Amino acid sequence: MTQGVIVLRSLVANRWVFVPVFMLAAVVTAAVLVVTLAVNDRGATAAEPDYYRKGAAWDEWKKQLAMNGVLRWVVTPNVVASHAHAGRARLQLSVADKHGMPIEGAIVHADVIPILDGDARVALVLAHDGAGQYSAELPIRIGGQWEIRSTVEWHGSRFCDRVRRTVEFQSQHAAESGQ
């Protein structure tokens, strides 16, 4: 017999030696695939900006929550169709005090975060539209659940609120054709 045939028969007889090698290779391949998919998924690596600073300022946040309870202002966000851009959205906030009276002339900021793509977060300064209404155009078009974090400052008082809303967009073609 030739040397090659002997080696081949030896490998066939000891084929179970290769099972751990194949299993290890499969595990490594699966791990590389999962990590690649996770990292390349848009929004999968989204992180809260200044997370450490927010964590360090936890006591101030608890004081703000207590102040919110004292003020009891009502901030009602609505995401509506934009009048200026077809297919886009507009954020409208209604701000009232605890008695339901509109708060006029406040400085209103909002962070809009689409949960589907946290990296697409938008910080807005809302314009006063009168009668306690504030609004701003939203430059993003991502459907699904959004978190709206609003801050209202008025006469030295500050009120912060967080709510989630589900936003649905019609197709771009339907928006452009006016359907």
Q: Averaged in consecutive runs of 10 residues, what is the pLDDT profile of the chain (179 residues)?
A: 76 82 96 88 73 91 96 94 83 96 97 88 95 94 91 97 89 55
Q: What is the pLDDT of residue 18?
A: 84
Q: What is the pLDDT of residue 51?
A: 85
| CA geometry: angle 123, 127, 131, nearest 5 deg | 130
Q: What is the pLDDT of residue 27?
A: 98
- Confidence (pTM): 0.72
C-alpha 59/C-alpha 170 separation (Å) is 42
* CA proximity to 134, closest of 48, 64, 76: 76
Q: What is the pLDDT of residue 173?
A: 55
* CA proximity to 149, closest of 124, 117, 119: 124
Q: What is the pLDDT of residue 37?
A: 85
